[in-house]
């Protein structure tokens, strides 16, 4: 199984400041079709997961452009350019390149 | 508007069975693969099972933790995917979510809580 490791596990951030979450996979996430199936999800308190980013860097419709994804191979990053209070929650990276689908442990974004 | 609605959760005793449903609307259900995920109380996300669209063979895959106990199926005429859960264990207690995927997962439901306890 591909192990997904997120850092940090907790990130206190001042509103208006940037935040960055790293996700590392135990093996390359490039599938034989040339695509990298790395996604990011946000889970606000008491809510279901909400997909933010797919295939490393593509934002879903309705996701603010302050969220961006980058990376390749085994190293990926989610960046929030200017954190807002509504961004509080847990962020997960997820790989769907290889079965079983696996998730990172989650990073809790807190407001200072 | 695309919607996925899970139902069928509840309290069940260890060793018993339960069937969850995931009803889709706002899209051509049969064109998409469906997955079930779960989240134990206070824990992270775990993938449970996956069923491909009939176009891609309708094949299924399971996490090792549920293989042989859980079964996923779909009825595209009713826009429903099912998760049959047998021989339930206390560690199966979780909120169960269904998710839709074409080339990637783009919609998740609100979830249904399954509590396995005597």
- For residue range B60-102, what is the model confidence (pLDDT) as tens digits? 999 999 999 999 999 999 999 999 999 999 999 999 999 999 8
Which pLDDT band, with edges at 50, 70 and 90, does A37 fall under? very high
Long-range Cβ contacts of B54-63 (<8 Å, 24+ apart) = B54/B30, B55/B30, B55/B31, B61/A99, B61/A100, B63/A100
Work out whether the CA dihedral A58, A76, A89, B51 comes out positive or negative.
positive
Helix (H, G, I), strand (E, B) or coil at B41: coil
Q: In chain B, which residues have their Cβ closer than 8 Å to the Cβ of A49? A: 37, 45, 97, 108
Residue B102: its pLDDT value, please? 83
Residue B107: its pLDDT value, please? 96
Which pLDDT band, with edges at 50, 70 and 90, does B41 fall under? very high
B61 touches chain A (CB under 8 A): yes
**What is the token pair recorded at A93?**
């990276």
Residue B103: its pLDDT value, please? 82
Mean pLDDT of all residues belonging to chain B: 97
Neighbour tally for B13: CB within 10 Å: 10
Residue B66: its pLDDT value, please? 98
When computed from its CA atoms, the radius of gyration of chain A, rounded to whole angstroms, is 13
pLDDT above 90 covers a percentage of chain A that reads 99
Q: In chain B, which residues have their Cβ closer than 8 Å to the Cβ of A2? A: none
The residue among A45, A47, A48 with the most chain B CBs within 10 A of its CB, best to mutate, is A48
């Amino acid at each position: 199984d591909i192990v997904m490791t997120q850092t940090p596990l907790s990130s206190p951030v001042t509103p208006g400041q940037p935040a960055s979450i790293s996700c590392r996979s135990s093996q390359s996430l490039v599938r034989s079709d040339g695509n990298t199936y790395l996604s990011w999800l946000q889970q606000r308190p008491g809510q279901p997961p909400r997909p933010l980013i797919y295939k490393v860097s593509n934002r879903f419709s309705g996701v603010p452009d302050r969220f961006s994804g980058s990376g390749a191979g085994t190293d990926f990053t989610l960046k929030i350019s200017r954190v807002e209070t509504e961004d509080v929650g847990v962020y997960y990276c997820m790989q769907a390149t290889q079965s079983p689908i696996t998730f990172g442990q989650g990073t809790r974004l807190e407001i200072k | 508007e695309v919607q996925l609605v899970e139902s069928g959760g509840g309290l069940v005793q260890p060793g018993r069975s339960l069937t969850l449903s995931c009803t889709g609307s706002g899209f051509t259900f049969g064109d998409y693969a469906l997955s079930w995920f779960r989240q134990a109380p206070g824990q992270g996300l775990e993938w449970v099972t996956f069923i491909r669209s009939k176009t891609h063979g309708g094949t299924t895959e399971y996490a090792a933790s549920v293989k042989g106990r859980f079964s996923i199926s779909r009825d595209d005429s009713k826009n429903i995917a099912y998760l049959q859960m047998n021989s339930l264990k206390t560690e199966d207690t979780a909120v169960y979510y269904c998710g839709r995927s074409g080339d990637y997962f783009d919609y998740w439901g609100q979830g249904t809580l399954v509590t396995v306890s005597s």
